[in-house]
Structure 1
Amino acid sequence: MAEMINKKSSILFILAIALLMPYIVPNEYILHVLVLVCIWSISVYGINIFTGYTGNLSLAHVGFFAIGAYTLGLLTVKADWNFWFALLGACVLSIILGTLVGLISLRTSGHFFAIYTMCVGYIIYLVIDKWDDLTGGVRGLVGIPSPASIGPVSFDSLTAQYYLVLLILILTILISKRIIQSLLGRTFVAIRNSEELALTIGISTKKNQLLAFVISCFFAALSGALYASFVQFIGPEVGSILLGFEMLIYLVIGGIGTLSGPLVGTLLIVTLTQSLQFLQEYRMVFFGPILLIILIFYPQGIVGLVNNIANKFKRKKVSSQPAGEKNLDKKEVG
């Protein structure tokens, strides 16, 4: 009971800091970075649903991020749609295309699946880069509007956009938590642990993998659309495979297959990356060894490491208790 209270108190404290951040640090650059952290985190949560909980590696995720960004950009700039309808259109298109790509790609498995999805992601990048009449090619799309006002609530200021993406991130985390803790989430984990065993107990592995893939595509497109409206300019680089690997790095360092890993990894790496701007292209020389150390010694990332330390501390605390206190704890639990 005390652990639950402490956990809830910690969550409320972190949420309070996030809500008060524009007033705690009234610096536009820091707020700009925090908005990017929220946007990238939404996308990384999408990767975590599919890769972290079903065990498959999709390299097409960044392609759906680009689809979300360009769909919103084209619908608002060229078709003159309202922002919110364009955002909905981007998400719906990602679900449709994600279903089509998933139905074909999930006929493969393992490294064949990863290679196939990488090819899909690269094709999306080439379409954006070469279809000059539609996407603008290397010139990109300029003048993408900020989110439209909802009644008296305007999103023209940086602070308002921060609260908008923070709200969407919170909803993303809550949805992810609901999925993970449900029967569907346990089904995903069963498939990750052993697809053959999951089949023997009657789980439709392909159907559940397809569902996880579509959910992942939805979050990728949502994140891409929010990114496009925030920076107000996008080019073919939003579909670059390098950007996809950066998102994977955020997840791996934070903790793959954990609820808070995507947020922790994205916050840490984006913050460090912005702090090391003076190193320019040599930044990855700094991150490379860190990534290797985490992969070798802490495959569950920073969150997994913290959880292991906390569990060891609890076991040590219980073992150091007198026998009478242990029995009393058992009676209280009973």
Structure 2
Amino acid sequence: MSMVKRNATPLIFLLIALVVPLVTDNQYYLYILTLAFIWSIAIYGMNLISGYTGQLTLAHAGFFAIGAYSLGLLTVDVNVPYWLAFLLACVITTVAGLLIGLIALRTKTHYFAIYTLCVGYIIYLIIYQWDELTGGVRGLIGIEPPGAIGPITFESAESNYYLVLAFLVLTIVFMKFITESLVGRTFVAIRNSEELAQTIGINTMKQKLLSFVISTFFAGMAGALYASFVRFIGPEISYTMTMFDMLTYLIVGGIGTMYGPLVGTFLIVTLTQSLQFMEEYRMLIFGPVLVLLVIFYPRGIVGGIQMWKAKRQYKKQQKMAKQASNSSTYGGGD
């Protein structure tokens, strides 16, 4: 019963997500929601290494772009079947993450953040300058949509919506499993104190590398889904501003929380799209709102809710303990 109660809110949101295409035929709404789901997958990967393991990475936009361009090049230039190209895109991104992580994770704290920021910018420059391979500033056009799975095709907005939603659910289930496992507790131990983790026998380099590689896998997977959904990609998806957008999604939602990536991404993506009619003036509204969120919810929206619940539970326990103490005192007097 307690497990059902604990998972009631996510199940309600999943039910709402499942029925959205059934109650609206607005293609634009489905487009925005699908984009929010795709970015959420990438932010979940970023949250694992930055939120749970405590290693702030600023290269995830680059890994997102590697996944997107890998799928685009494999399907457009090499004519690889979609699902094989999708798998290879995830593998290519993961291998790139492994090679970069072996070097990057030898640095610590802000040096790691600076190093990964440089790596992300180098990836952007390669995509922008290597015109013969990536198309340079022109980008890639005509990327294949997801291939059919038996009789199921993914040519409509509704089918793409459900496909990306399925990948998002699998991502959340995997993240919940790994963060609640011994491996996840090891990640948290490294975040809390890497020196202490080493003294109790944890191979911190190995565990940080594992977390980093898993996070890049999800960034690559999100990038591949993005490429096949939008069907056009350019170097801007790997630019530094995109990286800081992703970091904003994570901080606003709640870094180091299970549902922070989803809440932050959904909130900011939908809010920015709702203010598109204001063009450049939309930042006059979005900026102050973001500042207020950071001031009053420094642990993000989900983190703030968790703190509020913890304080409420603590006060309730204190009240019950006080009542029990008073009861025993009066009972002893009798």
Asked if Structure 1 and Structure 2 have the same fold, meaning a TM-score greater than 0.5 normalized by the shorter chain, the answer is yes
* Partner SS, residue 101 of structure 1: helix
The equivalent residue for 2:14 is: 15
* Partner SS, residue 151 of structure 1: coil
The equivalent residue for 1:112 is: 111
Q: CA deviation at 1:196?
A: 1.0
The equivalent residue for 2:229 is: 230
What CA deviation, in whole Å up to 9, does each residue of 1:72-113 have, x standing for no partner?
Answer: 000000000111011111110111111110001111112111
The equivalent residue for 1:172 is: 171
The equivalent residue for 2:127 is: 128
More displaced stretch, 115-124 vs 68-77: 115-124
What CA deviation, in whole Å up to 9, does each residue of 1:126-182 have, x standing for no partner?
Answer: 111111111111111100011000110111111000000000000000010011001
What is the letter of the counterpart of residue 151 of structure 2? P
The equivalent residue for 1:181 is: 180
The equivalent residue for 1:139 is: 138
Distance 1:10 1:113, change over 3 A: closer
Pairing of 1:38-187 with structure 2 (within 5 A): 38-187=37-186
Contact 2:98–2:213 (8 Å) recurs in 1? yes
What is the letter of the counterpart of residue 134 of structure 1? L
TM-score (norm 1): 0.93
The equivalent residue for 1:293 is: 292
Structure 1 distance, partners of 2:53, 2:295, is: 21
Distance 1:239 1:198, change over 3 A: same
Q: Does 2:239 match 1:240? A: yes
Structure 2 distance, partners of 1:210, 1:285, is: 40
Residue correspondences, number: 326
Q: CA deviation at 1:287?
A: 3.2
Q: CA deviation at 1:12?
A: 2.4
The equivalent residue for 1:332 is: none
Structure 1 distance, partners of 2:163, 2:300, is: 28
Structure 1 distance, partners of 2:101, 2:160, is: 33
Q: Does 2:203 match 1:204? A: yes
* Partner SS, residue 162 of structure 1: helix
Distance 1:151 1:287, change over 3 A: same
Distance 1:296 1:31, change over 3 A: same
What is the letter of the counterpart of residue 212 of structure 1? S
Structure 1 distance, partners of 2:265, 2:73, is: 28
Contact 2:272–2:286 (8 Å) recurs in 1? no
What is the letter of the counterpart of residue 309 of structure 2? A
Structure 2 distance, partners of 1:131, 1:313, is: 56
Q: CA deviation at 1:320?
A: 5.1
Structure 2 distance, partners of 1:18, 1:33, is: 13
What CA deviation, in whole Å up to 9, does each residue of 1:224-248 have, x standing for no partner?
Answer: 0100000100011111110111011
The equivalent residue for 1:265 is: 264
Instruction: State the identity as a percent.
Output: 58
Structure 1 distance, partners of 2:208, 2:108, is: 11
The equivalent residue for 1:331 is: none
Q: CA deviation at 1:318?
A: 4.6
More displaced stretch, 39-48 vs 314-323: 314-323
What is the letter of the counterpart of residue 288 of structure 2? P
What is the letter of the counterpart of residue 183 of structure 1? L
What CA deviation, in whole Å up to 9, does each residue of 1:180-204 have, x standing for no partner?
Answer: 0011111111111111111111111
Distance 1:120 1:8, change over 3 A: closer
